[in-house]
Amino acid sequence: MQRNETIPTRAPAWAGALVGLVSGGVALGVAQLLAGFFGPATFPVVAVGDAVVDLTPAPVKDFAIATFGENDKAVLVGGVLVVLAGIAALIGVVARRRLAYGLAGLDAFGVIGALAVFTRPGAVALDLLPTVAGVAAGSVALAWLLRRATVSRVSTSRVSTALPAPGPPAEVGEGEPASTAPEPERPAVMRAGGEVAEFDRRRLLTGAAGGVVVAGATALLGRQLSGQRAVDAARLGVRLPRPAVPAGPIPAGADLRLPGLSPFVTPNRDFYRVDTAISVPQVDPNDWTLRIHGLVGRPVELTYADLLKLPLTEADVTLTCVSNEVGGPYVGNARWLGVRMADVLRRAGLRSDADMLLSTSADGFTCGTPVDVVMDGREALFAIAMNGETLPVEHGFPVRQVVPGLYGYVSATKWVVDIKVTRFDTDQAYWTPRGWSAKGPIKTQSRIDVPKAGDSLKAGATTIAGVAWAQHTGVEAVEVRVDRGEWRRARLAQVPGPDTWRQWSIDWNATTGEHTIEVRATDAAGRTQTERIAPPAPDGATGWHTITVQVG
Ligand SMILES: Nc1nc2c(c(=O)[nH]1)N[C@H]1C(S)=C(S)[C@@H](COP(=O)(O)O)O[C@H]1N2
Ligand SMILES: [Mo]
């Protein structure tokens, strides 16, 4: 009996504090994850912060605002978190004595969080879910970590003396005081059934590390989700101003409306997407600014509201990716609305030695665009809308560049936030050291959309059709030949200008057998697409799109 008092009965206090902190972190992480779905006001920490603000007397509030200025909210949430951390540690220390005490402590915090959430204006019962799930996850973590922190061992001789052994008394050793039995290496505590629980530091620390990972991952995911919600909401709230320079109507004859032929305007949902972003950058237009600096007379910084006040231009421009293979899908045409880049750059005053605009996106991608191309009068835009809709987030909301005639990797920066006016001999953009040319004018190309490669057709009259592009020069002719016969000129659809692709079609009397179809385009300067086959790297694929079909 007496001996039990000398045996440490639980994990040390620091271990309890650690378990409490990690469990609290898991609780908050899980709550934040769910708040990502149910809205930021359902995250109990924010709700408690808001409630504190409401309950704070006005003079104290004024003092806080005067002292912390714009950071007052961050200071408040930080303060709530520090208090929470202290209490979580305490809960862990107490839970070593009895798990139920710790769980009760977590519940008490859940009740405070729930009250704060529920008293927010417009709160509904479902808003309590993040708090409830957080408390549940924290409780599971607390119980699991405490159990993990101690290891059960089957009874040692010392324990046998305290409990009647089923075997012969000789086993105990007559009169032999158990205190002379070898001491356990670690503090031990008695458990029922002749077991000894020992504090196991290694298992505690590995368990705690696992808890930290869960807490961090859920918190990050939750923040990402609520960021997405906030940006989606801000995007839906944008009211697009009318263009000062509207584009004319798209000519009725621009779209031949043939089955299988790419429509003249690519719907936003079908528009190809190419970027280095693992998760789509979420840029709140209220926080967005565009900074223009470097070789300029005076640096300029614009907000989204500033940009929307400038005269807007509408333009039909076909984007093309340099990594598009001949016949590939990375090309699309849209009607863009934006501010002419040249207008904004002229405000900054470009120095005459500048030849490169090094633009940077919110996620750190960079892009080098020749100054002369942007300033030569073409409709190079800071675009805010695509096909009549506020720019989709994955296509660069709130603002992206669009420059007719240049591949996307040297011109079409999405989520653009910064432009350094510089020189090609001083700066390099993202793709240049990765094997792609510093400059990337789009090469004239043509593609067969119908029939598709490998199709089986019925013999007789059919239509071959596709698209061709030579941005900012324009497509003047498209020719098709079958089985290396004579080149025949295709019919060309109308276009609004030189910056879009152009649909084409040609009739063909298909005869039974296997046939090869080739296409080539000629631009408005009279240059015909080269037959020479080149891969996309370093500056765009060349060759004639060639398909084979079976006619039965
Ligand atoms: N921020 C950012 N912008 C970017 C890129 C990128 O990786 N990051 N890729 C460029 C490339 S290579 C192309 S082809 C176009 C594609 O634009 P889209 O995804 O809207 O079709 O975006 C350009 N803008
Ligand atoms: Mo690209």
DSSP result, 22-51: HHHHHHHHHHHHHHHHH-GGGSHHHHHHHH
> CA separation (Å) from 240 to 249, 336, 401, 463, 524?
18, 12, 17, 41, 35
> CA separation (Å) from 323 to 259, 408, 425?
27, 10, 24
- pLDDT band of residue 154 (cuts 50, 70, 90) is low
Nearest one of 34, 393, 39 to 222, comparing CA atoms: 34
Which ligand neighbours the alpha carbon of 415 most closely? 1
405 lines ligand 1 (CB under 6 A): no
Q: Is domain 268-434 given the CATH code 3.90.420.10 in the classification?
A: yes
Pairing of strands 456-457, 546-551: parallel
361 lines ligand 1 (CB under 6 A): yes
pLDDT at 501: 98
Which of 268, 269, 274 is the pocket-test mutation for ligand 1 (most atoms within 8 Å of CB)?
Answer: 274
> CA separation (Å) from 213 to 15, 25, 106, 221, 474?
18, 10, 20, 12, 55
Question: What is the average per-residue pLDDT within 380-396?
Answer: 98
Distance 421 CA to ligand 2 centre (A): 22
Q: What gap in Å lies between CA 238 and CA 392, rounded to an integer?
A: 12
Distance 320 CA to ligand 2 centre (A): 7
Which atom of ligand 1 sits closest to the CA of residue 320? 14
* Six token digits for residue 254: 């621009």
Which residue minimizes the CA distance to atom 16 of ligand 1? 274
Mean pLDDT (the chain) is: 90
User: Can you give the residue ranges of every domain in the chain?
Assistant: 6-157+187-226, 268-434, 445-551
273 lines ligand 1 (CB under 6 A): yes
Q: How many CB atoms lie within 10 A of CB 249?
A: 8
Which ligand neighbours the alpha carbon of 431 most closely? 1
| Angle of helix 44-55 versus helix 13-38 axis, rounded to 10 | 90
- pLDDT of 257 > 50? The answer is yes
Which atom of ligand 1 sits closest to the CA of residue 407? 14
Put simply, whether the predicted model's pTM sits higher than 0.75 gets the answer yes
Amino acid (1-letter code) at residue 33: L
What sign results for the dihedral spanned by CA atoms 168, 170, 173, 174?
positive
CA 72 distance to own-chain centroid? 28
State pLDDT tens for residues 171-224: 333 334 444 444 444 444 544 555 667 888 999 999 999 999 999 999 999 998
Question: In 119-262, which residue ranges form alpha helices assigned H by DSSP?
Answer: 129-149, 157-162, 201-236
* Six token digits for residue 197: 């629980």
Question: What is the average per-residue pLDDT within 469-490?
Answer: 98
* Six token digits for residue 371: 């100054």
319 lines ligand 1 (CB under 6 A): yes
Which residue minimizes the CA distance to atom 8 of ligand 1? 275
Which ligand neighbours the alpha carbon of 391 most closely? 1
* Six token digits for residue 376: 């030569």
- pLDDT of 161 > 70? The answer is no
Which residue minimizes the CA distance to atom 12 of ligand 1? 409
Q: Is domain 445-551 given the CATH code 2.20.25.240 in the classification?
A: no
Nearest one of 333, 535, 326 to 444, comparing CA atoms: 326
State pLDDT tens for residues 62-107: 887 777 776 777 788 788 889 989 999 999 999 998 999 999 999 9
pLDDT at 52: 81
- pLDDT of 246 > 50? The answer is yes
Q: What gap in Å lies between CA 30 and CA 39, rounded to an integer?
A: 14
Q: What is the strand order of the sheet 188-191 is part of?
A: 150-154, 195-199, 188-191
pLDDT at 153: 66
Question: What is the average per-residue pLDDT within 502-508?
Answer: 98
Q: What gap in Å lies between CA 219 and CA 26, rounded to an integer?
A: 9
State pLDDT tens for residues 293-320: 999 999 999 999 999 999 999 999 999 9
pLDDT at 374: 98
Which ligand neighbours the alpha carbon of 368 most closely? 1
Q: What gap in Å lies between CA 170 and CA 34, rounded to an integer?
A: 61
Q: What gap in Å lies between CA 328 and CA 408, rounded to an integer?
A: 15
Which of 414, 432, 434 is the pocket-test mutation for ligand 1 (most atoms within 8 Å of CB)?
Answer: 414
271 lines ligand 1 (CB under 6 A): yes
DSSP secondary structure, 104-150, as one string = HHHHHHHHHHHHHHHTSTT--GGGGHHHHHHHHHHHHHHHHHHHHHE
State pLDDT tens for residues 355-385: 999 999 999 999 999 999 999 999 999 999 9
Residue pair 138/106 in contact (Cβ under 8 Å)? The answer is: yes
288 lines ligand 1 (CB under 6 A): no
Q: Which residues contact 107 (CB under 8 A, 6 or more apart)?
A: 135, 139
Q: What gap in Å lies between CA 338 and CA 421, rounded to an integer?
A: 20
- pLDDT band of residue 26 (cuts 50, 70, 90) is very high
* Six token digits for residue 240: 């697009």
418 lines ligand 1 (CB under 6 A): no
* Six token digits for residue 448: 């067969």
Which ligand neighbours the alpha carbon of 323 most closely? 2
